[in-house]
Amino acid sequence: MGLSIWQLAVVAILVILLFGRGKLSGLMTDLADGIKSFRQGIKDTPADEPATDKVLEQAPPSATAETTQAAGSRAE
């Protein structure tokens, strides 16, 4: 049992009556801006380099060594 065109039309009319054309237009504009922002964020992130490599490169070597030693002492 699928939805017929008449059922979809009734639902569309109810939505327009409840929210009004202006509010629906604003919601669609906000949705489109969010999608554009998301796509731009994906384009800015390089796919070749994993994010964890950047974090390890920024950490000072002494902090990495201390963390490794602390983890080793807990395992014993």
**24 close to 15: Cβ distance less than 8 angstroms:** yes
CB 12 within 8 A of CB 4: no
Take residue 45 and report the two structure tokens written for it: 């992130």
Question: What pLDDT, in 10s, does the model give residues 29-73?
Answer: 999 999 999 999 888 876 565 556 555 555 555 655 555 555 555
What's the rounded mean pLDDT across residues 6-15?
92
* pLDDT of residue 13 exceeding 80: yes
pLDDT, residue 73, reads 56
